[in-house]
Structure 1
């Protein structure tokens, strides 16, 4: 009897259609050209939810493609807005250091087009802040004029994270 029930459950599971796939991911409204998301049916958050999230980005993306690490905050913004949170209540800070500093540089400084330029412009337009570690700036010889518009240089990533934490930001582990 138990064996029959287990077999029936396995057959039922195998016969179920896929619930989602890549085609289920849709563009968002906050960062419309980047960060496609899927929101499961029936999942929502209160519109008055306030989120203050810092993203620590130290890993560079590919030289010729968008950095998944930079796209994650776009997905975060789009996903939570799609789940009902007022975009005005979504506060995102990108703290960039190390090799990822290259992903913030303008075309002239990079010596090639920056595939992240459009994504960065949309993140900034959505109210995100993007700050390059000052220690990375010095170590990698990246001046303020080498950066895409709207990006700032701070004292250090450590300092920026400490200040953001005092302002109520949490660190996203992804």
Structure 2
């Protein structure tokens, strides 16, 4: 069992993804290691007004690594958005046209991007849903597909975290 400090080395850095420090926790990240994670976010939000739970978990992961003492420079993350989560990356006017509400994920996505997470959307899902590239939130990249992105990144040493 690893001895953990009573308080986290740093606090949460993303205002989303509630995270709690646990005294005496086992299996803490090595503060001297670098981590590469690809998050596969495919599920829809629970309601039209709610943020996407998968995106919240991306924020939680960043916070937990940070709270464990891993600096953002040691954490390389890509969130690939696809399937029913595709509308999560739309600008408000396009999201409004899609389901009648402003995008509840816009601020969450901006927050994880500020923490260094690349947010990418599957172009196949964009096309299948009839969304255009001009509909995307700022900074969201387009991948050929989630299928290829995940395997290419795993080949490059990323750990897959399906959400």
TM-score over 0.5 (shorter chain): yes
TM-score of the two chains, using structure 1 as the length reference? 0.79
Give yes or no for the alignment of 1:49 onto 2:33. Answer: yes
Q: How large is the RMSD of aligned CA atoms in angstroms?
A: 1.6
Which residue does 2:58 correspond to in 1? 73
Structure 1 gap ranges (5+): 1-26
TM-score of the two chains, using structure 2 as the length reference? 0.84
Contact 2:52 2:105 in 1 (8 A): yes
The SS at the match of 2:119 is strand
Which residue does 2:127 correspond to in 1? 138
Taking the aligned partners of 1:173 and 1:56, their CA distance within structure 2 comes to 5
Of Structure 1 and Structure 2, the greater helix share is in 1
Contact 1:144 1:152 in 2 (8 A): no
Contact 1:49 1:89 in 2 (8 A): yes
* Ranges of 4+ aligned residues in structure 1 off by more than 6 Å: none
Structure 2 gap ranges (5+): 1-9
Of structures 1 and 2, the one with the larger relative CO (CA 8 A, separation 6+) is 2
The SS at the match of 1:132 is strand
Aligned pair count reads 147
Q: Say which of 128, 147, 153 aligns to 2:142.
A: 153
